A = this chain, B = another copy of it.
Amino acid sequence: MARDLFHKTVKNGLIKEGWQITDDPFFVKVGGVEFFIDIGAEKLIAAEKDDERIAVEIKSFINPSSISDFHLAIGQFINYRVALKIKDPSRKLFLAIPDTIYRTLFQKELPKIVIQEYQLNLIVYDIETEEIVLWQT
């Protein structure tokens, strides 16, 4: 499945940058609901006492309607962030998106306003090279 391919791409991209994949998926149970965020990862930051920890929701944007994918991605990010704030507040949430959609839909005015206004963190990955090309926070 294409979905699995994108999942593997982002995992490999994170590993290349020195992240350790700790959860696949990352399970969060809080406030009467259960969420499965795609990836949990951590990285040792030499200068700090604690590891840096992230959760990554991977979006492929392979559906015919990229707007529907965008709605779903925004909703997942909002809900997961609320859940993490309660359950694991030091873990930072990212939405991973392909560079092809970052260069198109995500350069349009309305998506840019939403990303900025709701402070979404993005990881942009290149499907060809299996590398992360941008971290946007």
Interface residues, chain A, CB within 8 Å of chain B? 30-35, 67-68, 70-76, 78-79, 82-83, 86, 105, 108-114, 117-118
Contacts and interface: CB of A to CB of B under 8 A. Distances in A.
Contacts of A110: 30-33, 79, 82-83, 86
Contact of A78 (B68, B74, B105): B74
Given A71-B72, A72-B71, A74-B74, A79 B31 contact: no
Contact of A79 (B30, B34, B76, B114): B114
Given A78-B114, A82-B117, A108 B32 contact: yes
Contacts of A71: 72, 75-76, 79
Nearest to A74: B75
